[in-house]
Amino acid sequence: MRLSQFHLHTTKETPADAEVVSHQLMLRAGMIRKLAAGVYTWSPLGLRVLRKVERVVREEMTNAGAIEVLMPSIQPRELWEETGRWEKFGGQLLKIKDRKDSWYAYGPTHEEVVTDFARQELSSYKQLPVNFFQIQTKFRDEIRPRFGVMRAREFLMKDAYSFHANEDDLGREYRNMYDTYGRIFTRLGLKFRAVVADTGAIGGAMSHEFHVLADSGEDALAFSTGSDYAANVERAEAAAPGPRGAATEAMRKVDTPTQKTCEDVAALLGIPLSRTVKSVAVIGVDPENNPRFVLALVRGDHAVNEIKLAKLPGLTEYRLATEDEIREHLDASPGFLGPIAPAKSILIVADRDVAAMADFVVGANEDGFHIAGVNWGRDLPEPDLVADIRNVVEGDASPDGQGTLGIARGIEVGHVFQLGGKYAQAMGMTVLDENGRAATPVMGCYGIGVSRIVAAAIEQNHDANGIIWPDAIAPWQVAVCVINPKGVEAVNEAAQALLRDLIAAGVDAVLDDRGLRPGAMFADIELIGIPHRIVVSERGLQAGTFEYRHRRASEAEQLDRDTAISRVT
Ligand code: ATP
Ligand code: MG
Ligand code: MG
Ligand code: MG
């Protein structure tokens, strides 16, 4: 490949609307261009990286025994009604209507579709176990698409779904996928951590998330310094003892040293507060209809964060409620909020979807406000408060009683679930067991954010000059840079011969024959993150040397041809 025949479009200026470094660098390198909120075109350069991530994922999934399929992204409403998710999935589900007035969803995930496929394909236990995977575009109407492809609305996911005769076999495959994910993220050259996670809107019994560690990550991970315990913070809270939520206990524990007055919190949240509080608002139930109600407590007739809350996904009701009503809801979810003092309440208690939009997840009781958790990195209004909470959480004992708790930030790049019989049951899928009786298979599902990985890799691998790709996903591993290609023909020939030899040796190399001045050429090659650079120049040829530099090295080296080649093969 020759860059003079390729399409590169780089810029020096940092785009003003890009908050995180991966988004900035992807725009500057010209990897993506925005079409609409959370919807991006992948340029030829960006696509090379995306395809490399895809290839690693596909190879490892195939090696692990999964079989590739491709399911439609447009999914009929009737299918989603079979599982009840047409209503329950909430606002992330993009619903569209065809000319015959039939409704469809643009698939945010494929449990329904794969179960429909499986109920047509699988009829006997002898066909189990089986694991189908695809690499497919998903659409989720995220409340706050941001950070470029990191939290997009349209994005590329690898999703896999396995079917088993029994829970033991599901457990075996879950472990197999867990190990496969470890191999995938290792091959991609990423520093990652697996944590126990909440099962969220997908549901199921057991679940782990894989996080790429990065300070810009939207998730907070709790891990023990004294054991292998690691969890998504939401989950660490839920693991604390107590009735149903558990979250309450965790809140109490975390809160005690940081009790804030109403005024403190209201000021931090930028929410107006007066002392005469009389009523409470019920905002709705969460999309799964579980008893974790999403509540917003308001003062008088002034709803806190009215606009934000009005957009809650799965919102079934939005109005002021009486105190009796709120107590009824609280009775249905014992312990979640703890004792409520409507006279001093403000806040939002959240499930995952709400947490995704609330800046703070806060609990209230008679004494005032208690901060239980924070969406790290999301437009936090008051850095000191974050530090404050962080200090309190860090250093506490772990949920498993060993060591002390540390907090790291992460970007969720993979998620494995044991779903059990949920979808097969809802959709009436059975297979004949050994005794010829109809039995419901159990399922697992396994996702990887293929497009998100591209951004996550940049968060971990960059410097002031641009991206530094891990070799496995670099658009090219080596740039052969020709100084003054219109000058001496022998220089061109030497560069082309070097390119041919590299490619023959299985190295993904590109020739930069654009004829830019060295400074501008090197700046581009550094910005787009090519890990190895070999410069071919007239002076070098005369001396019998090629200039080699690794993207992370501080100095270039003058090497003979064979040594230069050996550095990149
Ligand atoms: P998040 O917590 O970040 O919203 P999720 O838990 O909703 O993600 P899953 O349903 O577990 O996502 O989907 C599997 C994977 O798809 C995630 O681990 C993540 O890597 C990726 N993914 C999910 N939502 C997005 C998005 N909006 N943009 C890019 N990738 C995404
Ligand atoms: Mg999500
Ligand atoms: Mg998640
Ligand atoms: Mg997830």
Q: Pick from 57, 93, 412, 417 the residue to mutate for probing ligand 1's pocket: most ligand atoms within 8 Å of its CB.
A: 412
Q: Is there an atom of ligand 1 within 6 Å of 449 CB?
A: yes
pLDDT, tens only, 112-135: 999 999 999 999 999 999 999 999
Q: For residue 434, give both structure tokens.
A: 């050994």
The predicted-structure confidence for 507-547, as pLDDT tens digits, reads as follows: 999 999 999 999 999 999 999 999 999 999 999 999 999 99
Give the pair of three-digit tokens for residue 471.
């070799």
How much of the chain is in helix, strand and coil states, percent to nearest 5? 35, 25, 40
86 Cβ contact list (under 8 Å, min separation 6): 77, 80, 93, 105
**Selected residue with higher pLDDT from 59 and 249:** 59
Q: Whose CA is nearest to atom 24 of ligand 1?
A: 151
Q: Is 138 in the pocket of ligand 1 (CB under 6 A)?
A: no
475 CB under 6 A from ligand 1? no
Pocket of ligand 1 contains residue 142 by CB under 6 Å: yes
- Ligand 1 atom with the smallest distance to the CA of 447 is 14
Neighbours of 560 (CB within 10 A): 12
Judge whether residue 272 has pLDDT over 50.
no
Cβ–Cβ < 8 Å for 531, 469: yes
The tokens describing 157, both together, are: 């996911």
What pLDDT is stored for residue 206 in this prediction? Answer: 81
The model's confidence at residue 221, banded by pLDDT at 50, 70 and 90, is confident
pLDDT in tens, 365-400: 333 333 333 322 223 233 333 343 344 344 455 756
**Nearest-CA residue for atom 18 of ligand 1:** 414
Phi, psi (deg, nearest 5) at residue 559 = -125, 155
What's the token pair of residue 486?
């219109």
Long-range Cβ pairs for the range 176-182 (8 Å, 24+): 176/64, 176/65, 177/64, 177/131, 177/416, 177/444, 177/446, 178/208, 178/416, 179/64, 180/60, 180/61, 180/63, 180/64, 181/210, 181/414, 181/416, 181/446, 181/448
Cα–Cα dist 370/360, whole Å: 10
Residue 369 vs residue 104, higher pLDDT: 104
pLDDT of residue 288: 39
ipTM of the complex: 0.99
Ligand 1 proximity of 108 Cβ (cutoff 6 Å) = no
**Rounded-to-integer distance, Cα 146 and Cα 247, Å:** 28
Using alpha carbons, list the distances in angstroms from residue 135 to 1, 45, 317: 26, 20, 37
Q: 372 in ligand 1 pocket by Cβ < 6 Å?
A: no
pLDDT surpasses 60 at 239: no
C-alpha torsion angle, residues 303, 306, 308, 312 (rounded to 10): 80
Distance CA 353, CA 294 (A): 10
CA–centroid distance, 409 to ligand 1, in Å, is 16
